[in-house]
Amino acid sequence: MDADLVLVLDAAAFAADKHRRQRRKDAEATPYINHPLALATILAREGGVTDAEVIAAALLHDTVEDTETTLAELEARFGSVVAAMVAEVTDDKALPKAVRKQLQIAHAAHKSPGAKLVKLADKIANLRDIAASPPADWDQTRKAAYVRWAGEVVAGLRGTNAALEAAFDGAAAALG
Ligand code: ZN
């Protein structure tokens, strides 16, 4: 089988296993794996991204931040390029949430092209989830604050992929 396809399928299977006990925060508590799968689909279908390492990094993007997965584990299984992209999109959970959010804004423009694509898709997927099925305890003010913050992060990612940047703008506009 084509090596790119094997990489992508292996990343999907690995992420599904790592996130198997996690749920999203929406009212239906959607299985967590739907989120990385959404990123990969946005990149491939809407962004026209054909780089299998970027798609694999999207599938794996929350494994280090949100599960016990280590970067060494990713590097051994998926290679240094994929592991480095995941590292670039992983927040340091030792820092307070407000600091992490501020650092996402400050660091966005300095990411590699692949990491910028993953971050764009992440923000698109999150805005669409908030519009379609918001966390039960989020009011309009909280949604608006999230859209504003995501827009500040995406400002540093622009110039990477016009279709994805337009998709983000559409998702932000849909949330008012
Ligand atoms: Zn994510």
Mean pLDDT value across the chain: 96
pLDDT at 75: 98
The Cα–Cα gap between 150 and 41 comes to: 20
Residue with tokens 């913050």: 149
pLDDT tens digit sequence for 136-173: 899 999 999 999 999 999 999 999 999 999 999 999 99
pLDDT at 165: 98
Copy the structure tokens of residue 97. Answer: 């949430």
pLDDT at 9: 98
pLDDT at 60: 98
pLDDT tops 80 at residue 82? yes
Copy the structure tokens of residue 27. Answer: 């009212």
pLDDT at 15: 98
Ligand 1 mean position, distance from CA 23 (Å): 12
Q: How confident is the model at residue 116 (pLDDT cuts 50, 70, 90)?
A: very high
Copy the structure tokens of residue 95. Answer: 């820092």
DSSP string, the chain: --HHHHHHHHHHHHHHHHTTT-B-SBTT--BTTHHHHHHHHIIIIIS----HHHHHHHHHTTHHHHSS--HHHHHHHH-HHHHHHHHHT---TTS-HHHHHHHHHHHGGGS-HHHHHHHHHHHHHHHHHHHHS-BTT--HHHHHHHHHHHHHHHHTTTTS-HHHHHHHHHHHHHT-
Ligand 1 mean position, distance from CA 168 (Å): 14
Copy the structure tokens of residue 173. Answer: 């506009």
pLDDT tops 90 at residue 101? yes
pLDDT at 176: 76
pLDDT at 72: 98
Q: Residue 82, exposed/middle/buried by CB under 10 A (0-12, 13-18, 19+)?
A: buried
Mean pLDDT of 88-104: 96
**Is residue 58 a contact partner of residue 121, using CB atoms and an 8 Å limit?**
yes
pLDDT tens digit sequence for 11-64: 999 999 999 999 998 888 899 999 999 999 999 999 999 999 999 999 999 999
Mean pLDDT of 109-131: 97
Mean pLDDT of 94-110: 97
Ligand 1 mean position, distance from CA 86 (Å): 11
Q: Which residues are catalytic?
A: 65-66
The Cα–Cα gap between 37 and 56 comes to: 10
